[in-house]
Structure 1
């Protein structure tokens, strides 16, 4: 086992902090929904809009706006596709949180996306997954089934089946978005890429929320407004900034393991503040999914070099 360099250690810490911040996002949604029936689409729209503004300000301060323009001109289709995909998977995730609860939403989303990426990479290599990879997939799929059954049996949310389906959609959308957008990371800086895709996603969601007539619902409530600022600044702008910065010096395997702090944080937060309980089946399913993701982290970097968070 090699000793990590100081830069690698800093990168790992950055990814760990990003995982913790992502794990608090579900609680923010619940806080908002406890005060006002704000649609999850509106929550997602304001979260991304606030993050986009923060990131654009940072680019202006760092005088990197030309890099943003260059990226948009060089790869407009992929930037739009990745931005809209980012908006879609986050909206699906928040919808899942409202329907089934924080713990199930986070674990299913986080567990499914790396599994799908494994399949995509195997297809691209035109070779069947190895025995270890199959074991990881079996663990993950078994865990998903157990978590789904637990959600229906213990009803931690008003619509458990719908919530699990939304979480699956969130994980699948993020996997597809990551597969399309990975090549963009070779052409620009993480800050520029994050700003570009976040801005596109924010515009898409704001337009959708405006057409739905729900864009200003609940903004007069101070708690709602402050929570939206928290979601935008900390769980989007800062978290993604830390994540992409950490990936520059942290191996993909270590990064995948570090992002497991997200479901751990979400579970702790849900237990402390939301009184959610998964039961025996849910706990077993959670453990299997976490083991599967950890198993993906021990695979070769070329197979899955970019970890996939849902938040």
Structure 2
């Protein structure tokens, strides 16, 4: 995989690609679960573990060296733990209530948490984008209907797990803003997901198990799930976060339910309805609004600001050595 220089514009493009590819994950995961008779936990475990190993195998075949620095392996371990928490907490919320509530709280909370962490640098466009996104997501996914077997306590516990999942994804997004030397995007996704999958194995074995009878269809679906919305999508996501702010990355993740809804309507014949269509339009407007504000100074990521600060200080040193009183503009 050749190294691609990422600009602010291409960084947003990578985030858009990742969000769209994530939208295929729900459909592929559902088909895999139905075909192989696997639980949601088992699908998540295979997705992380096999997806990570596929990336690592690709890196080794193409001669890409694995990271050697201790800081790189610390980042890998932290990212792996966070993605495991994200997956485990999300599917726990699903089992306690419903997919709609878990999706609404998890994906809806992520941009809010990132925005709170970056509140000093958040622009009006980002805030407006988050508000539009919350409204659109609620209309698209739908507010969960009450179930006779679901108590208020279960709903509160499920919401807590969904917020925990959102926190795991948000922290992963925030730390990905600052690249680590000797660690590129593919290595981050491959090694971290391998770690995350390994962490989920004991939990899955203790709950639903991992065994299934492999055939051509189930193996094909598993490979597609591990490559498209996992290996490729997350590699693009980490690459995009090198130049785009974390708040924008969390908002672009909202393309996942939007893409999933469109695929369900086209391939499965599911009808969105008036509220769903309006929600999809609001989500699209939120993504466009957030992306349009990415070029402002306030939207610049901490990593980019830090690079500019380093460049500026170097010019100051040069100017002082040369006896100049004024610094040439950057």
TM-score between both structures, scaled by the size of structure 2: 0.68
Change (3 A) 1:149 1:192: closer
Looking at structure 1, the residues matched to 86 and 44 of structure 2 have their Cα atoms a distance apart, in angstroms, of 10
The reply to whether residue 183 of structure 1 matches residue 197 of structure 2 is no
Q: Is the CA contact 2:254–2:283 (under 8 Å) kept in the aligned structure 1?
A: no
Q: Which has the larger radius of gyration?
A: 2
Identify the residue that residue 226 of structure 2 maps to in structure 1.
Answer: 232
Instruction: Please show how residues 143-292 of structure 1 align to structure 2 within 5 Å.
Output: 143-146=136-139, 149-152=142-145, 165=159, 169-185=164-180, 188-212=183-207, 214-216=209-211, 218-245=212-239, 251=244, 261-292=255-286
Looking at structure 1, the residues matched to 27 and 203 of structure 2 have their Cα atoms a distance apart, in angstroms, of 24
Q: Deviations over 1:126-181 (max 9, x none)?
A: x8x6655543443344445545654428x9xx99x79x946655433211222244
Change (3 A) 1:279 1:150: farther
Identify the residue that residue 33 of structure 1 maps to in structure 2.
Answer: 33
Change (3 A) 1:304 1:175: farther
Alignment partner of 1:269: what SS? helix
The reply to whether residue 48 of structure 1 matches residue 48 of structure 2 is yes
Identify the residue that residue 135 of structure 1 maps to in structure 2.
Answer: 128
Structure 2 stretches of 5 or more lacking a match?
303-330
Looking at structure 2, the residues matched to 25 and 271 of structure 1 have their Cα atoms a distance apart, in angstroms, of 15
TM-score between both structures, scaled by the size of structure 1: 0.71
Identify the residue that residue 319 of structure 2 maps to in structure 1.
Answer: none
Q: Deviations over 1:199-236 (max 9, x none)?
A: 211111123223336011x2434422321111112221
Q: Deviations over 1:225-249 (max 9, x none)?
A: 321111112221122233444556x
Structure 1 stretches of 5 or more lacking a match?
307-311
Alignment partner of 1:210: what SS? helix
Q: What value does the CA root-mean-square deviation take over the aligned residues?
A: 4.2
Q: Deviations over 1:260-294 (max 9, x none)?
A: 65444211111123343444334434443443344
Per-residue deviation, 1:47: 1.0
| Counterpart selection for 1:90 from 84, 87, 93 | 87
Looking at structure 2, the residues matched to 201 and 295 of structure 1 have their Cα atoms a distance apart, in angstroms, of 33
